[in-house]
Structure 1
């Protein structure tokens, strides 16, 4: 902003560099424009007028379209248009701005306030400047008579000091208002939190960063029967079963020391004296510097769940006993501290070991050699993971067992390693089943799938050849069309390799690459990716061998439907696919525009659509959402990155 008639070098001090938009934003942040008079500012202008022996003194704030006088003496108005403002020139220079005689300064000689009432002849203004160096206006004094000598040194110094006092008042005013607003927001937030916490079925608590518990919701007091405040501080630990107190206290101290989340199961005393199993969880709340400022936790009654788990354990034990009589199933129990495995005759039969010897107990090292050498390392890794307590001690493995006659059979082993209170492995039990016939069936199925895939690809090849033969000798336009058709047929053949089920041996190498690579392969039969018709935007992500088939089925189904009914049915259609990483998830948006109008969700879902949705939920652990807008379908696929990479 440069007022008319301004020329560099005509005011005292060096020219300042700032952005007008930022200056206006800074002025508005003080919420001072168009506010009524305040004594703190009125006193400043009266003192300035007395010190400078001036009939007029003003606190002038230069806004976008006007100058507003927060305080004035001798002027009689609260604002003037910006085009008559002398202060608008003063803010363009740092320091003190002095005009000894306005009639001799061509910038102001024609100013209506100079040539007309009140006939201002002298001006001196001290800059009102934010801590960030943005000028808001001036504290100025004016006279009806020229002052060739300007202000004395003492008057100039005093005017600048008073200008700083004006800025201090503005900063104080803004700080007080911000504090009041923050206190209203904090009180409302706390009120809403307490309402929410008191209506939750769980027990909710909070503590200071040092672990001092200072809040519990209503559910806590209803459950425990304790009076308000009785469990503050460390007194909460008295509510636990005596056998669980040291463990719970130790886990809480660990979370306080490391900042890790808190999770533990313990028995909590109810108001009637009965102890019930409870799941305790807590997470830290951190400030912008990463410092913990609060802990918020919950206690969930899981007594029924524990009882169900016990009933399930008994049921599993009964099942183990029942399976022990089956011909192709065996059970085993490993006493880990003693390193003794005892097993039933079914186990002995599968592993070609003496039933009496394994019935009395054998060290695990004597049984591992029965596992095929190629499968032994992976099996050992699974055993060690269960011993360490990974996946809650669950054990699962498929491997070949070498029989005494040199042949081998496939078995599947399932089990779980139990641990004592100190976390040491104790009892490792499980079941082993002969799955040789299943494996043979899977191999036959894979062979059939390969043969079927081979024949399907041959069909694509034959059709492509027929197209080529049919266009020989025809015009260039027909040959070009035939070339496009052949390329689409080839792309469909390549995409077929993604959507058919694969084994580890038959899976194409490209299937383990990225989302964009898979999309390019699947969409190639319909339009060139990167053209006006199909665009891939946003984030890419790696795709693992397990997720590839399910994802390919979903995308192939979408592309097929788009070509049949949606955006890829005509030349005006547009398909935009956008990937967005959100923490540990990938959100894929499939948006169709320019196709036939959409009347709403289809009345019937085809088999392919149902299969694709089930794959998204069960295989990928994700979700699918449809928006059937009139202008086109928008589908959102939300998948965990971890599942996508498997």
Structure 2
């Protein structure tokens, strides 16, 4: 593919991070190839010669882009062996796949100021094929250059040949690297042979095991130094003593039998244990391997005295463990991977009324309540691989009653070892406490619902009053154009306020559709700092403290900014417009315990906003995040700002914490999970799609509400689209089957009876991967739970311009994709 354009740039900080990563990868790859500043090689010289002749250019280069220069492994028609990176045209070839062709370097904004273009040798035409490693890392290019512009570029045959020659350059580089590696391997093998020969000669001297050769008379003809280390005997003492004289008297009969078997019948002795007397008294346990050959016995012995002592200690502990097994009040089970009981302790008789003998061999599921079989099966599957955290189930007693047990388990030797504690009484107590807590929660819910209902009704009645009054005034005859425009504007502004109010309610309920992305929270705080100063006013001193290193989080950046603004506005109001406001960003290893959860291990990013305001009364700390709860006067706030912060934090996997002292101020800290640095280049920012006429483009409209569907169809018609309206997902799929390639885009509601819009969109993607789907919703638990990254989302209520823009964007992307696939 031949490419001449440039891509839409990323945000500066993302672009810099991506460029740095690509540069590091390129330099590392060049180091592995070890090719920079090497002597000319005929294979590379032949390739540039062929490239020059095929493309009919005076210059051809194999150019490798290093850290601050481009170096030429092979060149034709160009004197210099390298140039500074600022003069490099090949560096632009690294930014895109395929073949880069610049017909006139003096007319291209990227190269018109290059000294090689404005001065000698006055180059004008450039074509470069990327040199890529098998891993896809771009190292440079095989390029051809002319001093005359070429508006027509290269012929297809020349372009194909240039790319093929570029691949041959990489083949030669891979061959060089393979040859270098082979030479290194050969050198390493030779060194290993020398080293192992030395090691073999040293093994006899340094081995901690006793080594020796016995003759037929029972004397060690040779012995290594380990005899003196382990038993205290010199080589002369070993050689002058028949080996039977070293033995413990109790071991003599067994050793005579083994010696006869080895010497007379040629039978080796493997792991044969006996006790040898130490030169200073006492005995050491040895484990022997003795192999007879040629009338001699070649021996090796390891000192196992410590292991023997450990074995005796283990036997004592096993006795102790068996005593605990028998006397324990908890049930101890040994299970095979299928859940069959291999062993059970006597506590089963006390807790389940069953003798251990009648339980061994039976599946544990014979005792488990059927409703608990699933969780028990999952627990066993986990315990086969790793230690199992505590889980609970119910087992049947011999008298037919049920008993609650809390289990822990761990795998060992292909079996599962489980311990169960009887917790029936604790369960009864917990159930009683839960009933009391549930009654309290229900009481609190009723109070919150009452407050929420009143707040929603109050605010929406105010908004509806503006809309109703405006529509009534629009009906009056002889209404001036100026007033008509004013009333229509009032309706539009009020609808936007209603949509914002709904969005804040959804944020608190964690039912908004977030668009998560990985971004630097510290950079976002820096960017929003100036706006915070504008919001708070000149009498409030704003200070911002952020670390130098990025603090990446995976969240909706727009909702993050909104949460910061809401907290800043809340702080401003608490200070009555005068005081100090501090915003700080830092890393946190854990999220502290708060409200209903314990400490949560991190890492997290903590964003704190501290004010010097009036503070919050302790009795109100637990209520400040409730929707419509506010301590401000009438008309000074909706009481939804902190609710949005609360909902955003929860839905993003984090939490909001508040610390306050009356008369001294408050600190709100937003904790969000820390994310890894985004790999590779960030997605390019999408250009705003212009509002264009649909030109008869066919849209499949899917909407179950008749009024909304009729309005949407009329709106699409006004925008120049032709529409087929389906009332549900099944009808939509049926329309797609009638004429498969009739539609260019699908516009569907999310919340519908039966199959919802997300399910429909995924089915369409499976059937027609090239057909774009635009979803519309004002509320959907499906979107809030699963996200909308797969499809375009249009938030209700939407404007005609927004609808036109998103449809134009979707159709345009599809058409560009088709065109690209055809070329």
Relative to the length of structure 1, the TM-score reads 0.34
TM superposition score normalised by structure 2 = 0.27
Using CA pairs below 8 Å that are at least 6 residues apart, which structure has the higher relative contact order? 2
